[in-house]
Structure 1
């Protein structure tokens, strides 16, 4: 069963401290670090569901990643990363992530995401992802669209 939907579902929110070492010579968080923030939030969500990797060694592979920078994050601050999923298919889904400055009233400083494919470790090809992901997606149908979860 494939449920193709472009409706974003909020699945996870976490707060990450901005470290002094995250900044570059220009005094703001380096662009590569935003991808680390998104990765950390995505992995924490998958791990909380027991999906990293599964009992057969199958797991998520990022086939594309993107980020649009709105404002520069700086130290000291905390970045709240809101993770959404959409376009749920048999072996893949899209993530969208918002990175918000806690010090600036949770204003969005960057938006990004990734295409995630669940890969069979033996064949290197896409395989159906764990039921926990599909179940979580189904549970989120309703009024959680766009709400921050703490």
Structure 2
């Protein structure tokens, strides 16, 4: 598991006084950076170096998030497949489980325009962050 602490910005708050739901996509994406580094340690954005593409995301909003308190984003690997892996995220604030979501990320060759198998060494590194059994 990776843990990232986010301090909400004033601009993250919507007209109802809580964190806008679109902000979670940004926070969860940021929290995936350590996983991105497994595939591209320098985070280079060249087509030769970058090998990941997003296939799916979803979010479930369980409780409201507010401006004045930090948010902990917990990031796990949920599943490792042949050509893709699924990441799970949780947003916690003040001991409350507020949002959960997943992202399916495909190992991808941008030059050929096709998905490719995840190398075994990368699968081993991903496996270090598998969600523990509940």
Q: Which runs of 5+ in 2 are unaligned?
A: none
Q: CA deviation at 1:57?
A: 2.8
Q: Does 1:109 align with 2:93?
A: no
Moved >6 Å (runs of 4+): none
Q: Secondary structure at the match of 1:40?
A: helix
Q: CA deviation at 1:59?
A: 2.0
What is residue 19 of structure 1 aligned with on the other side?
Answer: 9
Q: Which runs of 5+ in 1 are unaligned?
A: 1-9
Q: Distance in 2 between matches of 1:108 and 1:26?
A: 20
Q: TM-score, normalised by structure 2?
A: 0.84
Q: CA RMSD in A?
A: 2.4
Q: TM-score, normalised by structure 1?
A: 0.75
Structure number with the bigger relative contact order (C-alpha 8 A, sep ≥ 6) is 1
- Matched residue pairs, number? 131
Pair 1:138–1:72, CA change in 2 (3 A): closer
1:120 to 75, 87, 109: 109
Contact 1:63 1:115 in 2 (8 A): yes
Pair 1:24–1:130, CA change in 2 (3 A): farther
What is residue 90 of structure 1 aligned with on the other side?
Answer: 82
Q: Does 1:79 align with 2:68?
A: no
Pair 1:81–1:64, CA change in 2 (3 A): same
Q: Secondary structure at the match of 1:27?
A: coil
